[in-house]
């Protein structure tokens, strides 16, 4: 076992660090305030090869590992949580297509992604959140195509202008539900039955595009089925293992930035004629935050390493997501506390990080759902 980065991983980290500092961080405050999705950043990410990070080299990508994804997403999340969320969702979509797509689908959708077209993953519905098995969207076979009807909510990488295609999970055999009754479809935005509904106005990650998706008599050819008919629930759940590692990576990046800000501020802010960092109470906060963060990083890298070695990683992905998300909320809260009243003011970066961190315990399965997954694995 080694904890040292390989040459390839160090080079990637340097590239993403420089990119995030020069291109992502300078926009973070403006796009948070306006809620504007940073399309220009997508174009720049495509140019430096970041969109193809986990697309196989044979399809024009860089073919990097899950561990590399953790490093890249964490580094970007230090600069801007909204941008990191958009990126993590794209890497999730890439991973799902990589694992389940046929050659023609990979050529088409990877080709489009490498030009900067955004993909979404549409599972959640108004009545089916934590209980993904209760979804209502149906796909009915008519000849050589399917007709999809239903509505999805809270879909990332989908906005008034944003998003070019989505992986849609729908019921093809309602009686079977999670046991072979769901199918995954690749659905294009220019399909007349694909309608983007309300775009959400959010508390945090305000620049990430998150919208409703309405599927109305949406006709999709059979060749747009991802994997096989009936594979949808398995595809969604195995995709979520990778997605959860992505959220844990975001959590580590956001917490790392919160810790940096807290250290800097505590050294420079003076009360009672001395820096507040000279108080043991503040030092204990900082020590707790650093230890919490390091534990989350190790859990996240371990889950990613298991996936890279093709080992079962479901429980570890849930542990990493659960711990890292809760950790980021704790660390951001302590960092804000260390900033005192200034932490509550929008001029200070920690105010944004505190709001951005809050979603981490909710999407890609809430903390409660992660504990259900962990317990199922322990009790099986
Ligand atoms: C900004 C944002 C982006 C998102 N992006 C996407 C996306 O790209 N694609 C997508 O498909 N979805 C996406 N989601 C949806 C997200 O994954 C769901 O919100 C999440 O899974 C929770 O579902 P819910 O909101 O319906 O909450 P509910 O399932 O209604 O849960 C409400 C509360 O009850 C708890 N609860 C539920 N069941 C249990 C139980 N059995 N035991 C204990 N507690 C329980 C939950 O943990 C939670 O605390 C996004 C959501 C947001 C807010």
Per-residue buried b or exposed e for 277-299, using 16+ beta carbons within 10 Å of the residue's own CB = beeeebeebbeebbebbeebbeb
Instruction: Give me ligand 1 centre to Cα 257, in Å.
Output: 26
Which atom of ligand 1 is nearest to 208's Cα?
1
Q: Which of 124, 235, 372 best tests ligand 1's pocket when mutated (most atoms within 8 Å of CB)?
A: 124
SS3 state of residue 156: strand
Quick one: DSSP state of residue 24? I
pLDDT confidence of residue 209 = 98
Q: Which of 91, 200, 362 best tests ligand 1's pocket when mutated (most atoms within 8 Å of CB)?
A: 362
pLDDT confidence of residue 38 = 96
Report the largest interatomic distance among the alpha carbons of the chain, rounded to a whole angstrom. 80
pLDDT confidence of residue 330 = 98
Q: Which of 117, 162, 326, 364 is catalytic?
A: 364
364 among known catalytic residues: yes
pLDDT confidence of residue 2 = 83
- For atom 2 of ligand 1, the residue with the nearest CA is 154
- For atom 32 of ligand 1, the residue with the nearest CA is 130
pLDDT confidence of residue 1 = 79
Which residues have CB under 6 Å of ligand 1? 89, 120-124, 129-130, 154-156, 202, 210, 359, 362-366, 368-369
Residue 57 to residue 59: CA distance in whole angstroms: 5
Neighbours of 311 (CB within 10 A): 10
Which atom of ligand 1 is nearest to 169's Cα?
11
Instruction: Give me ligand 1 centre to Cα 134, in Å.
Output: 13
Residue 96 to residue 105: CA distance in whole angstroms: 12
Ranges of each domain in the chain:
7-113, 119-232, 240-379
Q: Which helix (H) or strand (E) holds 94?
A: helix 81-100
Q: Read off the tokens for 238.
A: 């195995």
pLDDT confidence of residue 307 = 96
Cβ proximity of 91 and 49 under 8 Å: no
Q: What pTM value is reported for the model?
A: 0.97
pLDDT confidence of residue 161 = 94
Which atom of ligand 1 is nearest to 132's Cα?
21
pLDDT confidence of residue 183 = 98
Instruction: Give me ligand 1 centre to Cα 368, in Å.
Output: 10
Residue whose tokens read 């890609």: 364
Which atom of ligand 1 is nearest to 130's Cα?
29
- For atom 37 of ligand 1, the residue with the nearest CA is 130
Q: What is the CATH number of domain 7-113?
A: 1.10.540.10
The tens-digit pLDDT sequence of the chain (380 residues) is 788 999 999 999 999 999 999 999 999 999 999 999 999 999 999 999 999 999 999 999 999 999 999 999 999 999 999 999 999 999 999 999 999 999 999 999 999 999 999 999 999 999 999 999 999 999 999 999 999 999 999 999 999 999 999 999 999 999 998 999 999 999 999 999 999 999 999 999 999 999 999 999 999 999 999 999 999 999 999 899 999 999 999 999 999 999 999 999 999 999 999 999 999 999 999 999 999 999 999 999 999 999 999 999 999 999 999 999 999 999 999 999 999 999 999 999 999 999 999 999 999 999 999 999 999 999 99
Which atom of ligand 1 is nearest to 123's Cα?
11
Q: Which CATH number fits domain 240-379: 1.20.140.10, 3.30.70.360, 3.40.1030.10, 1.10.1040.10?
A: 1.20.140.10
- For atom 17 of ligand 1, the residue with the nearest CA is 363
Q: Which fold has domain 119-232?
A: Butyryl-CoA Dehydrogenase, subunit A; domain 2 (2.40.110)
Q: What values do phi and psi take at 303, rounded to 5?
A: -60, -40
Instruction: Give me ligand 1 centre to Cα 289, in Å.
Output: 27
SS3 state of residue 215: strand
């Amino acid at each position: 076992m080694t904890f040292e980065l390989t040459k390839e991983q160090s080079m990637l980290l340097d590239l993403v660090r420089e990119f995030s500092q020069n291109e992502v961080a300078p926009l973070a405050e403006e796009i948070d305030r306006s809620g504007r999705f940073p399309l220009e950043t997508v174009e720049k990410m495509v140019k430096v090869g970041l969109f193809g990070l986990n697309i196989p080299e044979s399809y024009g990508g860089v073919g990097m590992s899950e561990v590399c994804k953790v490093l890249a997403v964490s580094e970007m999340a230090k600069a801007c949580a909204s941008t990191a969320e958009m990126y993590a969702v794209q890497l999730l979509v890439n991973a799902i297509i990589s694992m389940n797509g046929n050659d023609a689908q990979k050529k088409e959708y990877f080709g489009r992604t490498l030009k900067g077209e955004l993909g979404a993953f549409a599972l959640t519905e108004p009545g089916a959140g934590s209980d993904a098995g209760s979804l209502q969207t149906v796909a009915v076979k008519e000849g050589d195509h399917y007709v999809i009807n239903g509505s999805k909510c809270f879909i990332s990488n989908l906005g008034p202008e944003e998003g070019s295609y989505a992986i849609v999970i729908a019921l093809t055999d309602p009686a079977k539900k999670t046991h072979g009754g769901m199918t995954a479809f690749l659905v294009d935005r220019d399909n007349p039955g694909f309608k983007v509904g309300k775009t959400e106005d959010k508390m945090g990650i305000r620049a990430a595009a998150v919208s409703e998706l309405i599927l109305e008599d949406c006709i999709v050819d059979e060749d747009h089925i991802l994997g096989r008919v009936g594979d949808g629930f398995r595809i969604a759940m195995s995709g979520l293992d990778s997605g959860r590692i992505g959220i844990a990576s975001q959590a580590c990046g956001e917490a790392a930035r919160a810790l940096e800000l807290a250290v800097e501020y505590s050294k420079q802010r003076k009360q009672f004629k001395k820096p507040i960092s000279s108080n043991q109470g503040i030092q204990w906060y900082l020590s707790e935050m650093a230890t919490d963060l390091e534990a989350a990083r190790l859990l996240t890298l371990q889950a990613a390493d298991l996936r890279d070695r093709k080992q079962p990683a479901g429980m570890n992905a849930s542990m990493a997501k659960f711990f890292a998300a809760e950790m980021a909320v704790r660390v951001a809260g302590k960092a804000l506390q260390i900033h005192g009243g200034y932490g509550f003011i929008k001029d200070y970066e920690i105010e944004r990080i505190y709001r951005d961190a809050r979603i981490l315990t909710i999407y890609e399965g809430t903390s409660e759902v992660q504990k259900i997954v962990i317990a199922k694995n322990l009790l099986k």
